């Protein structure tokens, strides 16, 4: 098997310090959490940013400040800024980080229930996001919360509306209202991807580590972090994103998978550092 690429989703848009005091808001806290994850073995940091009071923002300048600060302490890390933002943001608001020309960015693959909210990603929005990424030579990480999202992404790639092969797909499983985090559902999804695609699984909440173990055994990659799960084990809050990454590293060692560095992850993902 190829080496395991670990992504750390360090803060997300919804989790708060009330839920876990270690959730980062300020630039300094975001850098701290990024470094803790990279030091523990993460090759990729999936990045949302916040205002100092915790309000989620897609502001280009805030992203630039955070990206520049992370680069100073983690020069080789792959950064994947979010274009999902927070529920209710407009498409243009969400697209702001793509103006910074990142090597990768997320691209959400369809509208879905998101707990009590609706996360809107219409076909016109997806085509607009794809056009921007093609123009700016940004590799998408396709975020699939539902089984139909994968078919949608494959169809739009085939028609030339989204950047094509080799695809990198992240299966986000266990969001309330979306595809559950089960091994049979993960197997169904993985069996539908193109032969040269790479894939990652994100298990939400208590599903984080069972899904990580399944992905490690199946030859896929893993995302963990405060965006998806705040706990190291039942009832035990993680003190940092690094602790969550360290647990994945331990699982990988037990199952015989080596951990990819950021340099090795770029090769696996067919990326060129900018």
Give me 254's structure tokens.
């037990």
The pLDDT, as a whole number, for residue 239 is 98
pLDDT given at position 231: 98
| Residue 1 belongs to a domain | no
Write the CB contacts of 135 (distance below 8 Å, at least 6 apart in sequence): none
**Domain residue limits at 26:** 6-269
If pLDDT is split at 50, 70 and 90, which confidence band does 274 have? confident
Number of domains in the chain: 1
Residue 165: the pLDDT is: 75
Q: Is residue 234 part of a domain?
A: yes
Instruction: Please give the pLDDT value at position 31.
Output: 98
- pLDDT attached to residue 140: 98
Q: Specify the pTM.
A: 0.97
Residue 63 lies in a domain: yes
On whether residue 168 sits in a domain, the answer given is yes
Please check the confidence at residue 264 and state whether its pLDDT lies above 80.
yes
Residue 71 phi/psi, 5° resolution?
-60, -30
Per the domain annotation, does 34 fall within a domain? yes
For 5-59, give the DSSP string: PEEEE-S-SS--TTT-TT---SHHHHHHHHHHHHHHT-SEEEE-EE-TTS-EE--
CATH number at residue 211: 3.20.20.70
The answer to the question of residue 82 being in a domain is yes
Average pLDDT over residues 157-167: 93
Q: Using one digit for the tens of pLDDT, what is the confidence trace for 22-65?
A: 999 999 999 999 999 999 999 999 999 999 999 999 999 999 99
Say if 274 falls within a structural domain: no
Mean pLDDT of 227-249: 98
Give per-residue pLDDT as tens, 193-226: 999 999 999 999 999 999 999 999 999 999 999 9
182 part of a folded domain: yes
């Amino acid at each position: 098997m190829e080496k395991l690429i670990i992504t750390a989703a360090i803060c997300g848009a919804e989790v708060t310090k009330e839920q876990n005091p270690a959730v980062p808001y300020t630039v300094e806290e975001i850098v701290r959490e990024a470094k803790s994850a990279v030091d523990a073995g993460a090759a990729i940091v999936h990045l949302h940013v916040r205002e100092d009071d915790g309000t989620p923002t897609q502001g280009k300048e805030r992203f630039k400040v955070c990206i520049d600060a992370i680069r100073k302490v983690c020069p080789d890390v792959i950064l994947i800024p979010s274009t999902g933002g927070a529920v209710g943001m407009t498409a243009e608001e969400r697209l702001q980080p793509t103006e910074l020309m990142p090597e990768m960015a997320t691209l959400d693959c369809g509208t879905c229930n998101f707990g009590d909210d609706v996360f809107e990603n219409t076909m016109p929005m997806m085509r607009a996001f794809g056009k921007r990424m093609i123009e700016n030579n940004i590799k998408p990480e396709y975020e699939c919360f539902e089984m139909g999202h994968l078919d949608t992404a494959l169809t739009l790639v085939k028609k030339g509306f989204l950047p094509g092969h080799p695809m990198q797909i992240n299966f986000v499983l266990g969001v309330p209202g979306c595809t559950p985090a089960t091994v049979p559902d993960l197997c169904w999804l993985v069996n539908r991807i193109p032969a040269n695609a790479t894939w990652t699984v994100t298990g939400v909440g208590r599903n984080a580590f069972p899904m990580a173990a399944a992905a490690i055994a199946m030859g896929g990659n893993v995302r963990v972090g405060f965006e998806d799960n705040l706990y190291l084990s039942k009832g035990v809050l993680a003190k940092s994103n690094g602790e969550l990454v360290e647990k994945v590293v331990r699982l990988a060692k037990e199952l015989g998978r080596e951990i990819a560095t950021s340099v090795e992850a770029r090769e696996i993902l067919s990326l060129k550092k900018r």
